[in-house]
Amino acid sequence: MAHAPIIRTLGKNGPKIPALGFGLMLIGAPAYGAVPQDKDRSAILDKALELGATFWDTSDLYGDNEELLRQWFQKTGKRDQIFLATKFGYVKGEGGKTMQFQFDTSYEYTKKACQSSLDAMGTDYIDLYYVHQVDNVTPIEETMRALAELQADGKIRHIGLSMVSSTTLRRAIKIAPVAAVQPEYSLFGREIEGPEGTDLLATCRELGVAVVCATPLGRGLLSSDFGSTSSSSSSTAEDGDTTKVDPADLRAKMMPRFLAENRAHNAAVVAKIREFAAEKKGCSVSQLALAWLLKQGDDIFVIPGTRRVRYLEENWATNSVELSDEEEKQLRHSAQTSELAGEALPEQFMDHKFRNTKEIS
């Protein structure tokens, strides 16, 4: 059944795009286990286009995602039908191998990274170009100057900031318009609503900046698979065995909520949400979690990630799941009163979420 997409305006007077996007990280980087085979990756992109899920989110960090996109654009000739977001800021090491957790958002690197992404994707413009992570030494004003020039040159159409604080956003917007920020936001990750997340949601609303929710399913926590077996849902086969934990799945190794000692407790919490989904809405827990986010306002966009066509289709069907105000409140209450075991991220990543930059000297 075709689901008419929810279309929303990105930021102040921005383009109208599907509120339900597609996060491409897992079809490029083996973060949660193996990346699918090329024919399956191509099939998932084909399906996203066919459905209308044309707001794609990638990064120069996500394995060979940008090269994959170049091949897909060459094959289909459909670059113009995709609203393409990519990111920069993680420094790549020798031979293009990504070295995580080193950042560079200097003026020079911003320009260089943009050209590399354009070349890698075989396109002459990026619809939405994000700073993925700000570095410790560059004032955001310098990065924004480079981005504003890229925009004036027509290389990027809109500017985005990911994982920044309200202070960084306020400083950035004085240099050039910011269309979107990309923080983590999900039913069990609501920091942006309050001081813990620098009141980022309120700041975005005040400034007319869209919120694109990274990890809207809590990295797979808010899914029918979580906790139903010993699974980390890492098999990539279309109907594959999801009961095996893929040794390459970083979640099972380092994401506290996914560690063996926390799984049973957290599965019981998710089971309550699943019950709500089935009984009240006749939908899946993932659909309910996405619908809950979309209910938060017309400035909210979601980019769930998947390696499977069937999850892509299931997530897209959320376009037809509408929550009442009362249902939204009940779900929020349920999440607020159920404590998950473990944090969403390991300790060493906690300061990556709402970053400030150096003051201008």
Ligand X SMILES: NC(=O)c1ccc[n+]([C@@H]2O[C@H](COP(=O)([O-])OP(=O)(O)OC[C@H]3O[C@@H](n4cnc5c(N)ncnc54)[C@H](OP(=O)(O)O)[C@@H]3O)[C@@H](O)[C@H]2O)c1
Interface region with ligand X, contact rule CB under 6 A, candidates 64-72, 199-207, 209-217, 274-282: 209-217
Rounded to a whole number of angstroms, the minimum distance from the CB of residue 170 to ligand X is 19
Contacting ligand X within 236-275 (CB under 6 A): none
Nearer to ligand X by C-beta: 89 or 139? 89
In angstroms, rounded to a whole number, what is the distance separating the alpha carbons of residues 290 and 186? 8
305 in contact with ligand X (CB under 6 A): yes
Joined together, the tokens standing for residue 224 give 């029918």
Burial of 229 (0-12, 13-18, 19+ CB in 10 A): middle
Rounded to a whole number of angstroms, the minimum distance from the CB of residue 127 to ligand X is 14
Contacting ligand X within 81-140 (CB under 6 A): 132
Residue 7 Rama label (left phi>0; alpha psi -120 to 50; beta): beta
Rounded to a whole number of angstroms, the minimum distance from the CB of residue 361 to ligand X is 28
Nearer to ligand X by C-beta: 52 or 149? 52
72 in contact with ligand X (CB under 6 A): no
190 in contact with ligand X (CB under 6 A): no
Mutual orientation of helices 107-121 and 140-152 as an angle, nearest 10°? 40
Looking at 307, 323, 340, 357, which residue binds ligand X (CB under 6 A)?
307
Looking at 90, 257, 304, 319, which residue binds ligand X (CB under 6 A)?
304
Looking at 171, 190, 219, 263, which residue binds ligand X (CB under 6 A)?
219
Nearer to ligand X by C-beta: 153 or 247? 247
Nearer to ligand X by C-beta: 132 or 190? 132
Rounded to a whole number of angstroms, the minimum distance from the CB of residue 183 to ligand X is 8
Catalytic residue list contains 109? no
Looking at 223, 231, 319, 357, which residue binds ligand X (CB under 6 A)?
223
- Interface with ligand X (CB under 6 A), residue total 31
Rounded to a whole number of angstroms, the minimum distance from the CB of residue 147 to ligand X is 16
162 in contact with ligand X (CB under 6 A): yes
Q: Which residue in 62, 130, 185, 311 is the catalytic one?
A: 62
3-state secondary structure the chain: CCCCCCEEECCCCCCEEECECEECHHHCCCCECCCCCHHHHHHHHHHHHHHCCCEEECCCCCCCHHHHHHHHHHHHCCHHHCEEEEEECEEECHHHCEEEEEECCCHHHHHHHHHHHHHHHCCCCEEEEEECCCCCCCCHHHHHHHHHHHHHCCCEEEEEEECECHHHHHHHCCCCCCCEEECECECCECHHHCHHHCCHHHHHHHHCCEEEEECCCHHHCCCCCCCCCCCCCCCCCCCCCCCCCCCCEHHHHHCHHHCHHHHHHHHHHHHHHHHHHHHHHCCCHHHHHHHHHHCCCCCEEECCECCCHHHHHHHHHHHHCCCCHHHHHHHHHHHHHCCCCCCCCCHHHHHHCCECCCCCC
Looking at 45, 163, 204, 252, which residue binds ligand X (CB under 6 A)?
163
311 in contact with ligand X (CB under 6 A): yes
Interface region with ligand X, contact rule CB under 6 A, candidates 121-129, 164-172, 252-260, 307-315: 307-315
Nearer to ligand X by C-beta: 149 or 346? 346
Residues that bind ligand X (CB under 6 A): 23-26, 32, 57, 132, 162-163, 182, 214-220, 223-225, 233, 286, 303-308, 311, 314-315
Q: Which residues have a catalytic role annotated?
A: 62
